[in-house]
Amino acid sequence: MPDSDTSATSQSGAHRLPQGAAEVVEAALHARRSVRAFLPQPVEPALVERLLAAAARAPSGTNMQPWRVHVLTGAARDRLCDALVEAHLAGQAEPDPGYAYYPPQFFEPYLSRRRKLGWDLYGLLGIGKGEKERMRQQHGRNFRFFDAPVGMIMTIDRRLEVGSWLDYGMFLQALATAAVAHGLGTCPQAAFAEHHRSIRRVLPIGEGEVVVCGMALGYPDWAAPENRLVTERVPVREFATFYSA
């Protein structure tokens, strides 16, 4: 008999999901969102490790598994956060010359989507146009992992190519979805990449690794206004083309 936390396996070796699993998986995908306020409730280390083990089932080319994860809690998390907040307030952001998360110039339709997200979030927080200092303070909350008790820094070997970065994205999605199933929330955070120098001064991350992003993990504070943000998605027919003949 298979273990209770594993899927059944047929004689052919194929995995079978329990009845109703499709609805559960789809519900987790739809429920996932970027959480920007967390409760102080700690997350058990065993649960963090369980989530990472599940996410590591993500596909990767020739099973290379290019992800590297630095998990921080307690005093270690606080030391990194203090260093990053100080760097942020001092305007010491420094992009990695080998990694640009965003294009140098936004263009449509991506520019409009980006702007809508920003104004929808600021609207929930009562931040108006022109309130640059409040915007800077809100951006700075990234470097506290939005008060999540678990902070993760994601890195990848600099020698790997774009295909491994694609694999990394699938790992991050798997981790975020698995977290939802346990009542947890996450926020993938590109903001950390521009402070890779400050991160390297706190964590033993060599120049041979690229800081991909950070990720906050914890129990969401659903009473916080920023967590009411639900981002829109374009219809499938807007981004997918179907061929049948």
Residue 90 belongs to domain with CATH number = 3.40.109.10
Helix (H, G, I), strand (E, B) or coil at 156: strand
Look at residue 241 and give its three-state secondary structure.
Answer: coil
Q: Residue 181 falls within a domain, yes or no?
A: yes
User: Is 111 part of any domain?
Assistant: no
Query: Which DSSP category does 122 fall into?
Result: H
- Residue 116 in any domain: the answer is no
Question: Is residue 235 in some structural domain?
Answer: no
Note the pLDDT of residue 31.
94
Whole-number Å distance between alpha carbons of 44 and 140: 26
152-169 b/e (C-beta count within 10 Å ≥ 16 → b): bbbbbeeeeeeebeebbe
**39-50 residue pLDDT tens:** 999 999 999 999
Q: Return per-residue pLDDT of the chain as tens, 245 residues.
A: 334 344 444 445 567 888 888 999 999 999 999 999 999 999 999 999 999 999 999 999 999 999 999 999 999 999 999 999 999 999 999 999 999 999 999 999 999 999 999 999 999 999 999 999 999 999 999 999 999 999 999 999 999 999 999 999 999 999 999 999 999 999 999 999 999 999 999 999 999 999 999 999 999 999 999 999 999 999 999 999 999 99
The phi, psi pair for 176, rounded to 5°, reads: -65, -40
What are 195-229's pLDDT values in tens digits? 999 999 999 999 999 999 999 999 999 999 999 99
**Per the domain annotation, does 81 fall within a domain?**
yes
Q: Is 241 inside a domain boundary?
A: no
Cα 31 to Cα 177: distance, rounded to the nearest angstrom:
8
Structural domain count of the chain: 1
Q: Is residue 238 part of a domain?
A: no
Could you list the residue range(s) of the whole structural domain that residue 65 is in? 33-101+142-225
Question: For residue 188, what is the enclosing H or E element?
Answer: strand 185-189
Residues 175, 82: Cα–Cα separation, whole Å: 26
Residue entry with tokens 């080319």: 61
**pTM score above 0.85:** yes
**Three-point CA angle 208, 211, 214, nearest 5°:** 155
> Do the domain assignments include residue 233?
no
Q: What's the pLDDT at 106? A: 97
pLDDT at 77: 98
- As a whole number of angstroms, the distance between CA 138 and CA 230 comes to 18
Looking at the DSSP assignment, which residues form a beta bridge with residue 188?
Answer: 215
